[in-house]
Amino acid sequence: MSNSPSLVAVLEAGADPALAPACRAAGYEAVVVSSMRKGLAEIRRRQPRVVVAEFIVNSNFPNRISNFETLFAGLQRDCPAARFVALLYPEDREHLARLQGRYPIHAALTYPLDADALQGVLQAAG
């Protein structure tokens, strides 16, 4: 492992082309995973400085709004100092606002991602 600070990205719908260059430019060693289970395992293992995740709203979830409740519980338990960056679609902002009191969200960026804005958020998180 390098001396770069660690970043774990949980991108269940697929990686965004802006993510890798923004991570490199901000000085992070990024690990990208495609499931929440893998993301939580990497968070426990790496203790990242930053966690980036896609916000997925699903009305079929029985007791939660999105995929973030599971992630927040894992972060609070395993890596409470990590800064959290949410990636979401503009129409999901109101759903994310309902969760913001439960875990501090460093930044929320909407799709399509702007590489410069993402780089700035990642640099500020460090």
Neighbours of 50 (CB within 10 A): 23
Mean of all residue pLDDT scores within the chain: 90
Beta strands in 3-125 (DSSP E): 6-10, 29-33, 50-54, 83-88, 107-110
pLDDT in tens, 31-79: 999 999 999 999 999 999 999 999 988 777 667 778 888 899 999 999 9
pLDDT of residue 99: 85
Is domain 6-125 annotated with CATH 3.40.50.2300? Answer: yes
> How much is the average pLDDT of 108-125?
94
Six-digit token string for 52: 């980036």
Q: In what order do the strands lie in the sheet with 29-33?
A: 29-33, 6-10, 50-54, 83-88, 107-110
Domain extent listing, the chain: 6-125
Residue pair 64/98 in contact by the 8 Å Cβ criterion: no
How many Cα neighbours within 13 Å face the side chain of 64?
15
